[in-house]
Structure 1
Amino acid sequence: MAVRAFTLDEYQDDDQTRDLFRSQNVCLWPPVHVGHCAVVWNKYLILFGGFTTISLPSRSFDGSDDSRYHSSRMLWFYDAESCEWKLEDTYGESPPFLSSAACAILNDCLYVFCGYSKANFYNEKVYRLDLLTKIWARVFPMIDPITSPLTEDHPSGRDKLASFVHEGSIYLFGGYGSIPSFRAELHGDYTIDADREVIMDLKAWFNCLIRFNITEHKFDLVQAVGPLPPPRAACASCKVGNRFFIFGGRLSYERMSDFFFLDMTKLKWTKIERKSENEQWPVGRSWAVLSPIFDENHLLLQGGLDSSGNTLSDFWVFDVSAGTWTEINFANSRVFWHAGGSINNTVYLFGGFKHATVQSRNEESSNELITVSLNPPSLQYIATEAIAASIVNTQENYESDSAWAVLNDYLIPREISCIQRTAKRLKYLKSRDVRINVSEASSSPRR
């Protein structure tokens, strides 16, 4: 997998595509996203960063690919109520184009930390996007150092870390990045990557917990008690109530299957153990997604990459009260390095790589939207999708279909508008050969 740095001029195509979509007033759908962040804000799932793989014509026969970072100035918003995507412009001092950054939402603002940039460096600054005004601002450091290293405490350069919000502060955990070189670089314990060939560019896995105070714009290292999780990168994580959960992640050649939670009321780590050798338990993995589902007592673990480099397609539900895992056999979606979030008890997953193994020469990337819910679909959702699909599949020009006149006699305007939006979305997906993957036991929220 090659992630290439390139000049700003190459992003002109993105701007032209955006303008073309808007001038034609067509349904929008995001391109491939890998290594991106997905965060939830009200009814929206927001995509930030990552890259998209592009097949090179000169290499199309050997499966090689090139990759382009997504612009940090244009963000995708998925409306879980209307089931539509929007591409939003942003302004101000935006972050560099990043992969595997950490994102968090607090007070209607999106914060971006760390990550690896298209210019081949780790981002050490913090950026904030006001989601109401769509204006970016750099909030750390307040004075931009040009010729000297940062003297304020901050995380050492890293990516593939976890983040969460608690009581007005943002916390960062783990990650993979550069060996700390300066006293101001917060790091805690770490494990050196012994396979690095360049001694002057050593990398390491981290397991420290770092807090960012959004009022004072300062970082500090947080010491927690209990069994500290080993260093790791690309773990699956989420916060439910006052507990922050992490599953797996990579350390050296191992993709782990250990499971911890951090009780923020006590700042205490607890390791969740198997009750017996025969108990169901997910295999070790990195680049998976962990999300609350149904209520605050259940978590959904999906996908990832195992220690043999195989892409996983399984779905697991963890019962927090019982402390047990259950594999869900109704769904199958092979994907890793994707991202997602939970809205109204439904988990939304987007993007990632789909190829069978990490060694695959032909890297198949995804712009599929997967929705998973433990609730059955509403009758309104089933009827809306069925009517819209029937119209789109039977008519070349679905907008002039005679069925609309019939529907006017039986449905209220709001219901017809919902069917029209769904038909527009399905028509666009059909024309672009984009598949929306909805598991058999899943549904979109009631509309």
Structure 2
Amino acid sequence: MKPDLTPRKSSTVPERTGHVSVLVEKFMIVWGGYNDDYDPYHLAYLPPHEVWLYDTEFKVWFVSKNRDIIPVPASGCSACAQGDYMYVFGGHSGLGYLNTLYKLHLSTLQWELVTPESSSPSPSPRDKTVSWFYDKKFYTFGGYGMIDYSKDNVFLEEVRSFCQDETSDLRGWNNQLCVFDFITMKWSIAETKGQKPSARAAHSAVRFGCKVFIFGGRHMNLRLNDLHCLDLSTMTWSGSLCVSGEQPEGRSWHTASAVSTNQMFVYGGFNNNCVPLSDAWILDVASLSWTQLTHFPTNKPRLWHTACVTHNQEVLVFGGCGNNILANEEESQVDHRNDILLFQLQPYTLSRLCLECAYRHRVRLGAQWDSLPRQFSDWLNRKEDLDIQLLMSTDTGSESHSDSDVSLEEYRLTFSLLHESQSLVQLLVLRNDLFVFHCLGYTIRRLKEDVNLRALPFDLCCGGMGQ
């Protein structure tokens, strides 16, 4: 997966809560969510034609825009990746709760609506579910949404699987396990054995081989910290599992991610006191023991965010809300986020450390890059090109200045020279002004020789900046 897209500054990534993300190869793919202050035209939902991609290797954002078949703008969907596709189910939109299943082709970034066989009833509309893929089947469990008391069999309904919300006659939590079979193209409710988890929403699910672990979530007015396991090979629920060690407090809107073949990483969420959390935990699914990771910062609360695990065992927590999402608007404004919290769970490889060192000292070592093995020199040159494109872009993340008379090679030389003067780099970042680049590029063309930044007149570098 190699998007031929222009890199975007991280400041141009819309803040969002209730979105979905998956990791495919080295890219974190982000779609959907909402932001009350983003755009009233979309009723606070993020534009559905935008798919954002974060290159976890070079730490750069890209955006793909597709106006063909696109899902309804929504938040609270569930998503998982399998093969060449990312699957997105359910959610809540300006039209209400959803029960549609879409798939995004990961090589073309084109959407496709998955249409069940005509005689197959679908799950009732819902959001805040969890989903996973196993043996050519898409599974979704739980959620919050509409309860259908009719008898026309429009939906896969088991009224007894719903727990009604006291504030609404037609909405509630459920503990349905719905399955879409891609061979028969039909939905069904899975037949299982054992004690099912209670009805819940905003919980988490992680699959380890044929076993899926369900943790937490909200059941009526209670946010849970119970742990359940579903064995997909026998379709048997474990019931609430007994765990050892100190346990995380009850929470919803958290994330859980597989960080090894038997470890699950849990971060953040919303507790029973309506406080956003910033604690990190590891569950060993073999020994069923919890361990709190106390060496990570605890001042970065997040809820209704997403988390992806890279091949370097980094957990990337993106977006979400940083304060009480249920607070009255008069008390506080919702703190939607667009930053990435990085949790490093193992040391970086020696090759990566060496590459980063070679890039950090590119002014002195750049001439020797081509003597490195091809894969390393390509990596260094690619990173430099991306950084240059970011510096050439505007604040709004638009395309590079094609009308400029400064060539890319001149930008590249100027970019390297600028790193000789930290003060100029800071000035450029603070003012976000390309005038310095244009002046230096002009000087480079005229002198046809190396430019010593310290010899440049100060007014040449800062003229036109309003100083």
Instruction: Provide the C-alpha distance between the structure 2 equivalents of 1:297 and 1:310, rounded to a whole number of angstroms.
Output: 29
Aligned residue for 2:123? 155
> Matches of residues 73-92 of structure 1 in structure 2 within 5 Å?
73-92=49-68
Q: Does residue 303 of structure 1 match 2:284?
A: no
Gaps of 5+ in 2: 396-425, 432-467
Is 1:219 the counterpart of 2:187? The answer is yes
1:285-364 alignment, distance < 5 Å:
285-293=251-259, 295-331=260-296, 332=298, 333-344=300-311, 345-355=313-323, 358-359=326-327, 361-364=332-335
* Cα shift at 1:299: 0.6
Q: Which has the higher contact order (CA 8 A, sep 6+)?
A: 1
Contact 1:236 1:247 in 2 (8 A): yes
1:40–1:46 contact (8 Å) kept in structure 2: yes
Conserved in 1, the CA contact under 8 Å of 2:303 and 2:320? yes
- Cα deviation, 1:120-149, whole Å, max 9, x if unaligned, reads 322233222222233322222567xxxxxx
Q: Does 1:113 align with 2:89?
A: yes
For the 8 Å contact 2:197–2:240, the answer to whether it is kept is no
Going from structure 1 to structure 2, the CA distance change for 1:247 and 1:432 (only over 3 Å counts) comes to farther
The match for 1:193 is 165
Q: 8 Å contact 2:38–2:46 — kept in the other structure?
A: no
Shift of 1:280: 0.6
Structure 2 residue matching 1:301: 3-state secondary structure: strand
Cα distance in 2, alignment partners of residues 93 and 215 from structure 1 = 23
> Which of 335, 347, 365 pairs up with 1:407?
365
Are the aligned partners of 1:192 and 1:203 in contact in 2 as well (CA < 8 Å)? Answer: yes
Whole-angstrom CA distance in 2 between matches of 1:125 and 1:355: 30
Structure whose residues are more often helix by fraction: 2
Unaligned runs of 5+ in 1: 1-20, 57-65, 144-150, 391-402, 434-447
Give the CA deviation at 1:358. 3.9
Q: Are 2:71 and 1:95 equivalent residues in the alignment?
A: yes
Q: Supply the distance in 2 between the matched residues of 1:304 and 1:424 (Cα, whole angstroms).
A: 37
Q: CA deviation at 1:350?
A: 0.7
Deviation larger for 82-91 or 373-382: 373-382
Match of 1:12 in 2: none
Letter in 2 for 1:125: T
2 CA distance for matches of 1:243 and 1:225?
14
Structure 1 residues 92-114: Cα deviation after superposition (integer angstroms, max 9, x where no partner): 32211111112232331222221
The answer to whether 1:283 aligns with 2:210 is: no
2:178 pairs with one of 210, 219, 223: 210
Contact in 1 for aligned 2:257/2:308 (Cα 8 Å):
yes
Distance in 2, matches of 1:138 and 1:30, equals 26
* CA distance 1:296–1:26, change in 2 (3 Å): closer
Give the CA RMSD over aligned residues: 3.0
Q: Distance in 1 between matches of 2:324 and 2:164?
A: 29
> CA 1:357 to 1:172, structure 2 compared with 1: closer, same or farther past 3 Å?
closer
Q: Distance in 2 between matches of 1:154 and 1:233?
A: 19
Distance 1:92 1:298, change over 3 A: same
Q: Distance in 2 between matches of 1:86 and 1:432?
A: 23
Question: Structure 1: which amino acid aligns with 2:285?
Answer: V
Instruction: Tell me the SS of whatever aligns to 2:271.
Output: coil
Task: Please say if residues 71 and 102 of structure 2, whose CA atoms lie closer than 8 Å, have aligned partners that are also in contact.
Answer: yes
Q: Helix, strand or coil for the counterpart of 2:278?
A: coil
Which is worse superposed, 248-257 or 407-416?
407-416
Cα gap change, 1:377 to 1:53, in 2 (>3 Å): farther
Question: Percent sequence identity over matched residues?
Answer: 26
The residue number in structure 2 matching 1:395 is none
Instruction: State the structure with more CA Rg.
Output: 2
CA distance in 1 between counterparts of 2:107 and 2:379 reads 29
- Which residue is equivalent to 1:257? 225
Higher strand fraction (1 or 2):
1
**Structure 2 residue 2 is the aligned partner of structure 1 residue 30:** no
Q: Give SS of 2:378's match.
A: helix
Q: Is the 8 A contact 1:124 1:155 kept in 2?
A: yes
**1:365 to partner: Cα distance:** 1.6
Say how many residue pairs are matched.
375
- Give the aligned partner of residue 398 of structure 2: none
- Deviation by residue 1:357-401 (Cα, 9 ceiling, x = unmatched): 74251221211112223211335545666787x7xxxxxxxxxxx
* Change over 3 Å in CA distance of 1:48–1:327 after alignment to 2: same
Distance 1:195 1:34 in 2: 24
Q: Take 2:8 and 2:209, find their aligned partners in 1: how far apart are those partners?
A: 40
Whether the 8 Å CA contact 1:170–1:213 is kept in 2: the answer is yes
1:417 is paired with a residue of what secondary structure?
Answer: helix
Do structure 1's residue 173 and structure 2's residue 141 form an aligned pair?
yes
1:70 aligns with 2:40: no
With over 3 angstroms needed to count, the CA separation of the structure-2 counterparts of 1:341 and 1:187, relative to structure 1, is farther
TM-score, normalised via structure 2 length: 0.73
**2:110 matches 1:135:** yes
The structure-2 alpha-carbon separation of the partners of 1:424 and 1:261, relative to structure 1 and needing over 3 Å to count, comes to: farther
